Amino acid sequence: MFIGNGNVFRESVSVHRGTVTGIGETRIGDNNLIMGFVHVAHDCVLGSNNILANYVGLSGHVTIDDNVTLGGQTGVVQFLRIGSYAYVGGASVIDKNIPPYSSGYGNRIEIKSVNIVGLKRSGFSREAIAAISDAHKLYFRSELSETEALRRIGAELGDFPEVQLFTSFLQSVGGKVH
């Protein structure tokens, strides 16, 4: 097990070790706030600067990138990934991968929009937020196929590193976000 620096673990948090059949360890980065009664199962990987509110439950083999906020009483199904700067409202069930910068909620999560408030608080430029929003619309709200949406995003918005993070995430999970 690896636990970085500056983490806050509140009361009754459980963190399980990795397994021989998994990646072999559970990893928690730096400066995470893990509130009361959170469960981090085996072989999870948490980045840094995340907030897991009360009663969040991570099943095994979940990966959470950096600067993610999960609302209270949220459960995450095993083998999923949540991208950087994502925000998930409370009492949600996350049963699919959540791309970076996304915001959503629900019993069977529905990605609603871009986490604009979180991006502004984190100092993203207006131009970067607009590019992320445009990429999000092309991928989630257009009638384009996944392949065509990714091609257009790359051609039209690919100069933004933030958009590159979005598209590389989608490619790494094989588009399994719907």
CATH 1.20.1180.10 domain span(s) along the chain:
118-172
Beta strands in 25-146 (DSSP E): 27-28, 33-34, 39-40, 45-46, 51-52, 57-58, 63-64, 69-70, 75-76, 81-82, 87-88, 93-94, 102-105, 110-114
Residue range(s) of every CATH 2.160.10.10 domain in the chain: 2-113
**pTM (global) more than 0.95:** yes
Phi-psi region of 121 (alpha: psi -120 to 50; beta: other; left: phi over 0): alpha
Q: Which residues contact 130 (CB under 8 A, 6 or more apart)?
A: none
What does the pLDDT look like over 114-167, one tens digit per residue? 999 999 999 999 999 999 999 999 999 999 999 999 999 999 999 999 999 999
Give the active site residues. Answer: 42
Say which CATH superfamily domain 2-113 falls into.
Answer: Hexapeptide repeat proteins (2.160.10.10)
Residue 96 CA to residue 63 CA, distance in Å, equals 12
* Residue 49 contacts residue 34 (beta carbons within 8 Å): no
- CATH architecture, domain defined by 118-172: Up-down Bundle (1.20)
